[in-house]
A and B are shown apart, each in its own frame.
Chain A
Amino acid sequence: MYRLRRPWTAPSTAAAALVRPVWRGLPWRVWGVAQGAGTLAAGLIRVCGGGPLPALVLLRAAVLAGALGLAFLLDDPARHTTATVPVRRVVRTALRVALVAPVVAVWWTAVLLLVPGSVRPPVWDITLEAGTASVLALAAATVAVRRTDEPEPGRSVATALLAGAVLAPLLLPARWALFVAPGDPGWAAAHERWAWVLAGAAALWAVSLREPRRRRTVRAPLRSAFRSVFRSPCGTSGLSRTC
């Protein structure tokens, strides 16, 4: 097959054309539920009162709820058809993130404002935790998209994120503790570790953004079984792009 030369402005034009359909295709309903739950958790702090520790626990639950919502960001039921658009996956993913970032920022600000100032943990530190959880969710979703053909990997990503959130406070040794209480002498050190986790997650995300050079190899028996049921969803004419 021949590759056509395209003008250098083509990708940006195509990306601009994608804005509206991507906006419409974003999993808004999932976010509505997740962010609603997060807001509810933050609202509980205001309603029920309590000290800084319950407030932090509820705020962390809100962070987790928001991150669980973000795990569904790359879900695209039409993935196998949208793979053929002349825009690279980096651009498509970046577009989704760019569209959703303001919404998430506004939600997070609202959540923080819901927490009474007297029990609110240090804003930048808790925002660092929230950012890390979000980037981890995004990185996991990106890895799932890259490694599998699943159009909606959000469910598995959310499960993995949840397992991490349950197990990390239980299994992390004290010197690597991430979930410290307010007023704990290890708060600053723990947030340094949070920053490292954020950096690692961001790096993982950046590495996984690019499309794999070769199509993922599926084990032979599985592949033959797969082929007998489905045709390749990405076309069979030797496209250099995979989906």
Chain B
Amino acid sequence: MTATRTERTAPVAVSTGTRNGRAAVVALAGFEARRLLLRLPVLLALAGHVTWIVWRTLRPADDFPVLQDADRATQSGPLFVGLAVMLCANQAALRSLRRDTERHFAVTSLTLWRRTAAHVLSVVPLALLTAVAVTAQFTWEAAKPGAVGRGSVAELLAGPLTVLLFGTAGVLLARLNSSAVAGPLLVVAFLLLFVGSASQSGGQDTGPVWLWPVVVTSGVHPFPSDLLGRPAGWHALYLAGLALTVALLAVLVSGGRTRTVQAALAGALALAALGGVMQTGGIPAATDTARSRASLAPEQDQTCVRRGASHYCAFPEWTPRVEDWARIADRVQGLAGGAAHDRPLLVRQRLEARYGLSDDAALDPATRPDQVTVGTSWGGDRVPEFSTAVAGVLVAGNERRAGELCDGRMVPLMWLSLAWQRDPESALRHVRLDDSVTGSALVLSGTEPLTMTAGQTKVVRALLHRPLADVGARVKAHWDELTAPGVTTARAAELLGVRVSVGGDRCTG
């Protein structure tokens, strides 16, 4: 039998001074970071994160991002990177046990706690890489021409800090339990926590829910950044304190019981406790007052600008959107006849902020004549919905009356709303609740929905298939009769030269 022989040069003798120890820790941390970065789960998670960012940011619905929402939208992607890093950091910290090379370290200057420190430090480059990805995602959003608002650095920090926290938790677990299955089990436990937090925090964005690593309250309507009421800064401090605590605890349990480590651990714990307590305090009273004011008397906070004859009032962060609103209002008004053609409108941005970020309460229609409501989100279906709101006010006089329309006035209203658009029929499909183009349906608007009967749908579709100029001339010529209360759909169809059987209206039976 041939003996197995391995030839290795003897390790160079090193002195064990503190400076050398520190240099060795940094060198090992660099080596471990490289290995961590090249592990398949981490590479896959990073690739998945990048794919998710690209997919998310390229969606057409995301063409008009509100940056105070876009910043916290960066938080859920890094969770998966964090899980992969947790698993791989755990396995890396156990490698010397698994490969039975633990005793080789006895000849180096690296004691167990120094190696643990190196493993903890090896997570930092991954957190930095996540920070780069998060910054790229946010910068991409901010660079879009339709972006408004302002982001917060504290919200952007949550993702990278989560990766740091999860990675250090993996190292700590390796020092507490050397079983190979403990790491995967910790991942399962964290997954359970995510599922638990997702089901617990549904509709709730204050209090203990902030003790979870990531709190993404997906608001339906973006809020002005002053009204968010998210303790993002305290939460970032909490996460940083927690990550530091876990890291120092890992060093401590592996034998690094020096005074410095103990003092740093106490400091980190204090940071985490401070952040943890401060973030669960709930919404400050000032924010609550500001939310009520913005909901009930938005004119106090808004700036108004004049475009043509109309005024546009928006929360200061949304003023760049005025051009978009004015363009659409002009197109709709250009199609209208009679006095409505030149009537000055007041387009006011409104928001229901009193019930929190996750609330989806509908706005009450405005009762003031010629006032049109526009929400805080824009792009996608919000554009034809605004167009419908403008047309409703032009036809019925105010928003409340437009919501109550049940007669033939729906025909000019819907035609005004859709005719100027590039693909009116698909716009019609999008503004209807059931995405249909036949039969009766609810039509979405910024405030109260409107109702189209099957006959009105038929007439509007017939009008949309005919030349714009021809129908436009007829609408202008018969404007007063078309918008008179009580006009039947049959009469409106007759005036506009459409011959289809329309049936009765909802009010006339």
Contact = CB atoms under 8 A, between A and B. Distances in A.
Contacts of A154: 180-181
A44 to B, nearest CB: 9
A152 B196 CA distance: 34
B98 interface: yes
B345 interface: no
A158 B6 CA distance: 32
Contacts of B180: 30, 72, 152, 154-155, 158
Contacts of B192: 41, 57-58, 61
Interface in B164-213: 177, 179-182, 184-185, 187-189, 191-192, 195-196, 199
Interface in B74-106: 80, 83, 87, 91, 98
Contacts of A162: 87, 184, 187-188
Chain B binding surface SS class? helix
A65 B188 CA distance: 7
Contacts of B2: 231
Contacts of B196: 54
B41 interface: yes
B4 interface: yes
B44 A163 contact: yes
A230 B187 CA distance: 35
Contacts of B182: 33
A143 B365 CA distance: 64
Nearest to B95: A155
B188 A163 contact: no
Contacts of B195: 57
Given A61-B188, A68-B188, A158 B181 contact: yes
A166 interface: yes
A32 to B, nearest CB: 8
B202 to A, nearest CB: 12
Nearest to A236: B2
Contacts of B98: 152, 155
Interface in A30-56: 30, 33-34, 37, 41, 53-54
Given A29-B179, A155-B91, A166-B191, A54 B184 contact: no
Contacts of B179: 29-30, 33
Contacts of A61: 188-189, 191-192
A154 B181 CA distance: 9
A81 interface: no
Nearest to B3: A231
Nearest to B80: A166
Nearest to B100: A77
A165 B83 CA distance: 13
Contacts of A29: 179
Contact of B4 (A33, A53, A165, A230): A230
A134 B195 CA distance: 23
Contacts of A152: 98, 180
A106 to B, nearest CB: 19
A237 to B, nearest CB: 10
Given A54-B199, A57-B195, A166 B83 contact: yes
A65 B179 CA distance: 13
B185 A159 contact: no
A229 interface: yes
A121 interface: no
A82 B6 CA distance: 23
B243 to A, nearest CB: 22
Interface string A66-85: 00110110000000000000
Contacts of A69: 181
A64 interface: yes
Interface in A148-177: 152, 154-155, 158-159, 161-163, 165-166
Contacts of A33: 177, 179, 181-182, 185
A10 B494 CA distance: 98
Contact of B6 (A53, A64, A72, A229): A229
A34 to B, nearest CB: 5
8 contacts: A30-B180, A33-B179, A68-B181, A71-B181, A152-B180, A154-B181, A158-B180, A166-B187
Please name the 5 residue pairs, one residue from A and one from B, whose CB atoms are nearest each other, closest first.
Answer: A33-B179, A30-B181, A37-B185, A158-B184, A68-B184
